[in-house]
Amino acid sequence: MLHQLTISELAAKLARREASAREAMQSCLDRIAKTDPQLHAFLSVDAADALAQADQADAALKAGATGKPLLGIPVAMKDVIAVKGQPLNCGSKILGKYVSPFDATVISKLRAAGAVIFGRVNMDEFAMGSSTENSAFGPSRNPWDPARIPGGSSGGCAVAVAADECIASLGSDTGGSIRQPAALCGIVGLKPTYGRVSRFGLVAYASSLDQIGPMTKNVGDAALLLGAISGHDSMDATSINEPVPDYTASLGQSLKGAKIGLAKEYMGGGLDPEISQAVQAAVRQLESLGAEVREISLPHTEYAIATYYIIATAEASANLARFDGVRYGARVEGADPIELYCKTRGAGFGPEVKRRIILGTYVLSSGYYDAYYLRAQKVRTLIRQDFLNAFKEVDAIVTPTTPTAAFKLGEKCADPLQMYLNDIFTISCNLAGLCGISVPCGFTKNPKLPIGLQLLGKPFGESTLIRLAHAYEQATPWHRERAPLA
């Protein structure tokens, strides 16, 4: 049952030589063989490569290696993060048989920490979506109810962690893609501050919003993994040269004196009553742990989704121009380069990606740039200012992660706007450049589905989030529940 362990539990077992890294990796592979035909978290797994890495870890363990906090730990990788020698498809057909010739910086860092990196994990095409239904390879399914979506775009990562198909995973978050699937699958997901983690080797969706972050079975593991991947990188000019604190030092700290804001704009509207109750109960729990909770206001919240879908699509339209049939992956031949380009993109991209490229091209086009793109950038500043004002009074802000629990496959496919509304609570964090974490905070009754509590922190306030989230987690039973898999 090694696949069921957390990072810290497995690391302790490996250090005591009670199990080998090969056994741990094999345990995950066996679990995948059993559960993934139903759940479809993985697009592919290179078992031989994973076991070879595990053997290397075992050799290092035998030699008494020190200072490698993830030595022998199997970590599954979202299909948007480049791993040398492995396929890189971004949930899309357009990359064809493309194999990455290099490691993303987060991968180099994980390797240096001793992790066993394996699997290409399913996602919405180019990270555009909230359900994995936009994957060109078919959706993943929620282990709490396989008729339901796991969230997205890092839905496969959340499934793989929740179903114990891996020990931990890395996802990416542009408007909620780590936190929303974490909430819907009952795990922990942390989006670091913009600039905290290098984006080198993360295929760009919206470059001013994207961040890579941990998806884990508990808060302690998120702290460990975040520490391993954070830091300045000369390959990413937007990564910030701030020292990386020991995030695990925030575990087990008291909440006495912590000030938490409850945003009134996040507790009304289309919020499901069961989610609202769970979040209110979580707020009371935080208070009983010593935190002081006060109401705050984020007045520009209602503009967040519109602002996001202008900025994200504008950036995506530019970033995705590189997939032209010439540089990478799949190609459909044409009589001339333009025809080749049109046919390749016509055949290679799915409908949601095309919709966003068209929208993004439109908002950037001359005559509309000022009316849409420039205006959205101004509103983005107002949204950021709301948060910076709130953070003068509080250390963190508590909200629901999602307005509803996991919905059924197909339920929102026909209406993109309904799908976009799912990100209402997660999107502002990216627009404002903050950090955020989702932790399990209960279940709906019938059917029983996970609910997520979101904590938002100041730029580079990850330590505060980890302190709050860990104290809450340790005081509540939710993270101990496992998905009832067939």
Segment contacting ligand GLN (CB under 6 A): 17-25, 127-135, 235-243, 472-480? 127-135
- Residues whose CB is less than 8 angstroms from the CB of residue 296 and which lie 6 or more positions away in sequence, other chains included: 261, 262, 263, 264, 390, 393, 394, 397
Q: Name the DSSP letter for residue 85.
A: T
Calculate the alpha carbon distances from 25 to 32, 120, 339, 480 in Å.
Answer: 11, 15, 46, 22
Residue with the two structure tokens 């306030």: 461
x/- string (CB under 6 A) for ligand GLN, residues 312-331?
x-------------------
Shorter beta-carbon distance to ligand GLN: residue 395 or 423:
423
User: What CA–CA distance (Å, rounded) separates 420 from 410?
Assistant: 14
Smallest Cα–Cα separation from 340: which of 348, 353, 331, 328?
331
Q: Name the DSSP letter for residue 246.
A: -
Least Å distance, CB 305 to ligand GLN, is 10
60 half-sphere exposure, CB direction, 13 A CA radius: 24
Shorter beta-carbon distance to ligand GLN: residue 296 or 427:
427
Catalytic annotation present for 78? yes
- Cβ contact 134:91 at 8 Å: yes
Shorter beta-carbon distance to ligand GLN: residue 8 or 401:
401
Least Å distance, CB 142 to ligand GLN, is 16
Catalytic annotation present for 250? no
Least Å distance, CB 94 to ligand GLN, is 17
Of these residues, 108, 140, 177, 198, which one is catalytic?
177
Catalytic annotation present for 177? yes
Work out the angle at residue 426's Cα, subtended by the Cα atoms of residues 421 and 429, and round it to the nearest 5 degrees.
Answer: 135
Q: Which two tokens stand for residue 356?
A: 């966003």
Shorter beta-carbon distance to ligand GLN: residue 203 or 263:
203
x/- string (CB under 6 A) for ligand GLN, residues 157-196?
----------------xxxxx-------------------
307 contacts ligand GLN (rule: CB under 6 A): no
Select the residue whose beta carbon is closest to ligand GLN and give its number.
177
Contacts to ligand GLN from residues 243-272, by CB under 6 A: none
Least Å distance, CB 400 to ligand GLN, is 16
Least Å distance, CB 219 to ligand GLN, is 21
In terms of DSSP H, where are the helices of 411-461?
Answer: 416-421, 427-432
140 contacts ligand GLN (rule: CB under 6 A): no
Q: Name which position in 127, 160, 225, 363 contacts ligand GLN (CB under 6 A).
A: 127
Across 139-250, where does the E strand assignment appear? Answer: 168-173, 188-191, 211-216
**Residues forming the active site:** 78, 153, 177
State the residues that interact with ligand GLN by CB under 6 A.
127-130, 153, 173-177, 205, 312, 423
